[in-house]
Amino acid sequence: MKPDNIYLAVAAVSIPLVTAVLVATLNHFQNRRASQRERHADRLADQIDTLYGPLHFYLCENTDLLRRTGILNDLYTTVYVNTKWSERGMETIHKEADQTIAVNNSYFAKVTENNTAMIRIITDHFSLIVHDDLDALREFVTDVNRYNIEQGLPSRLKLKLMDDPIAFFRPPFADRIAARVKELSDKWSRL
């Protein structure tokens, strides 16, 4: 066999072999990249569906409920506190005032229930928290726990703790969670 024929035979065998190796390598990297993208999309979906989305829902409901309590407080003050009532009128109004307070307390109870649900969501899905949100979420959990514990204190002691007030609801926290939901949703939709 001539040397030229040997080179042609080697080339005839090598070219398909090298091509096959290159195609296999390229397929491997494409599959790996697709797998990484899929894992990233799954994590984003989990963050939205099991952590940030439910937190956002409860925070929006709390915002609405607390807005409603503000309206009731204003009405209560206008109708029952700032109005001069006769002795006979006071008996009737006393019942109505108590009913209004009971409704307002029901709103606060629902907010407290929502806060407890949010703590459960945060602790159950801690691994999905975006690192930048850790302090805000920790602060929220601390505030809710303090509220639940300290509401049973006598009024005199509560007044002494006023220098370190409990935030029952922090609008910047709600805004942060809403922004995070939007950010994660935007990232997910771009994948």
Q: What is the pLDDT of residues 4-62, one digit of tens each?
A: 667 666 667 777 777 777 766 777 678 778 778 889 889 999 999 999 999 999 999 99
pLDDT-derived band at 3 (thresholds 50, 70, 90) equals low
The larger pLDDT score, comparing residue 84 to residue 114, is at: 114
Statement: residue 178 has pLDDT above 70: yes
CB-CB neighbours of 169 under 10 Å: 18
What single string gives the DSSP state of each residue in 13-70? HHHHHHHHHHHHHHHHHHHHHHHHHHHHHHHHHHIIIIIIHHHHHHHHHHHHHHHHHH
- The token duo for 15 is 């070219």
Helix axes 3-46, 171-190, angle to 10 degrees: 150
What local confidence, expressed as pLDDT, does residue 154 receive? 78
Q: Which residues contact 177 (CB under 8 A, 6 or more apart)?
A: 52, 55, 56, 59, 133
Q: Which helix (H) or strand (E) holds 79?
A: none
pLDDT for residue 130: 96
DSSP SS3 for 153:
coil
Select the more confidently predicted residue: 66 or 167: 66
**Local confidence band at 164 (pLDDT 50, 70, 90 cut-offs):** low
Report percent pLDDT > 90 for the chain.
49
pLDDT score of 60: 95
